Amino acid sequence: MNISKRRHYLVDKNMQFRYMAFVAVPLVLLMSGLYYLIYYSVFTQMLIPEAVATTLLPAMKKVNIVVAVFVPIAMFLLLRAALVYSNRIIGPIPRLERELDKVLAGDYSARIKTRDNDELKHFVDKVNLLVEKMEAKRI
Amino acid sequence: MIKRVSLVVVAVLSSAVFLSFATGVVLKQFTFNENDALDQWSKMVLNGAVDYELIKQGRAGYVQAISDKACSAIYYKMPYKVKDYPLLGWKWKVVAFPDISKARTPKEKDDYAARVYVIFPHLSFTFSKFIEYVWAEDIPAGTIFDSPYGKNVKMIVVRSGRTNSGEWVSESRNVYEDYVKAFGTEPKKDAAAIAIMCDADSTKTMAESLFDDIAVSAPETRSIEEVKQI
């Protein structure tokens, strides 16, 4: 059973924020490390202060402006993508839990809804099939 | 007979040890006498290439630097503790000074026929420290001032004016003491390189200087225990 529109992306704050942090923090660290590595390598290669001050520092200033403008945008897009993707994984779980509670309470007509992009879709479909068979046997 | 030979050997060894301490402990010396002496040095072009050439006169050699409206340096990477090897010695000769008569701003005046650098890199340029020993034309010897490129770049005027220009002049500096004097603190980082430069790009003029016998060493008053620790 499919439902179409995703209304709430945040279904489990703790888990989704952990997932977003798991994606964002290493990436930020990696990018910062890479940025610094490039800067330091060029700096130690130039060494002469006049060369560093007239060539490397102005170039780094330009890079910093670009970074200051684009990194927040890139981070926003990245975190949003992480939120959407984490929702695809975690989204069906509360519904699964809710509907299974109904089944346990004896309501075998309950079916768990999923969306096409949900990562647990095939698993949920099988649970639905199981509940369906249980309902048929009961009748 | 054996006793005599032993005495002679002991005497020779003692005098050798004495001589080695009397001349100090040399960490690195550049005599520029070998044909490939400049191969170990790296070039850093800032604004046009200065012509650094090894000139040989018989067995002896020196470095000739000619700048035609250009600015570039040559450096030798050698990490060492300035506290252990504080002495930096060199010989230099200024053949032609850049014409700074029309220069107005500090950056325009930042042309020197001869500079010797000691470089203390840190994690970033701002935290790095640089000492530049210069032969200035119009600034009194002994003056220490900030480079127009940053407060972390200290210029120390070792020699001033044209009095000794055209002749070889030997210098010996205690880099450790100069660092403390210039920055007010001990060096927190090791020196990583020494460099020499001749530039005349800011004034768009010409400059020429010669360099020879660059040496990094420990003072001769060092005790045997101190030397062993190094």
> Is pLDDT at A3 greater than 60 in this prediction?
no
**Inter-chain touch B121–A54, beta carbons under 8 Å:** no
pLDDT tens column, A7-40: 677 777 888 888 888 888 999 999 999 999 999 9
- The per-residue pLDDT for B13 is 44
Average pLDDT over residues A52-71: 93
Judged by a CB distance cut-off of 8 A, whether residue A54 touches chain B is yes
N residues, chain A: 139
Least confident range from B58-62, B106-110, B175-179, B213-217: namely B106-110
Q: Which residues of A touch B197 (CB under 8 A)?
A: 48
Residue B163 sits in a domain of what CATH number?
Answer: 2.60.120.260
> Is pLDDT at B35 greater than 90 in this prediction?
yes
Nearest to A57 among B117, B125, B192 (CB): B125
The total number of structural domains in chain B stands at 1
Residue at B147 is within a domain = yes
**Inter-chain touch A51–B73, beta carbons under 8 Å:** yes
DSSP string, B4-25: HHHHHHHHHHHHHHHHHHHT-E
Q: When comparing pLDDT for B142 and B103, which is higher?
A: B142
- The per-residue pLDDT for B15 is 43
- The per-residue pLDDT for A5 is 61
B173, B159 contact by CB (below 8 A): no
Judged by a CB distance cut-off of 8 A, whether residue A35 touches chain B is no
**Inter-chain touch A43–B124, beta carbons under 8 Å:** yes
Task: State the residue range of the domain holding B143.
Answer: 25-229
Strand B206-218 and strand B60-68: the pairing is antiparallel
- The per-residue pLDDT for A4 is 55
- The per-residue pLDDT for B18 is 39
Tokens coding A126: 């099988």
Nearest CA in chain B to A39: B124
| Amino acid at residue number A46 | M
Suggest the residue from A47, A56, A60 to mutate for an interface test with chain B (most B CBs closer than 10 A). Answer: A47
- The per-residue pLDDT for A38 is 92
Task: Label residues B186-204 b or e (16+ Cβ within 10 Å = b).
Answer: ebebebbbbbbbbbbbbbe
Residue at B221 is within a domain = yes
Residue B61 backbone dihedrals phi, psi, to 5 degrees: -140, 165
Nearest to B195 among A40, A43, A47 (CB): A47
| Mean per-residue pLDDT over chain B, rounded | 88
- The per-residue pLDDT for B216 is 97
Residue at B203 is within a domain = yes
Q: What percent of chain A has pLDDT over 70?
A: 94
- The per-residue pLDDT for A88 is 83
Q: When comparing pLDDT for B62 and B16, which is higher?
A: B62
Residue A88 to chain B, least CA–CA distance (Å): 43
Judged by a CB distance cut-off of 8 A, whether residue A64 touches chain B is no
B135, B112 contact by CB (below 8 A): yes
pTM of model > 0.90: no
- The per-residue pLDDT for B5 is 53
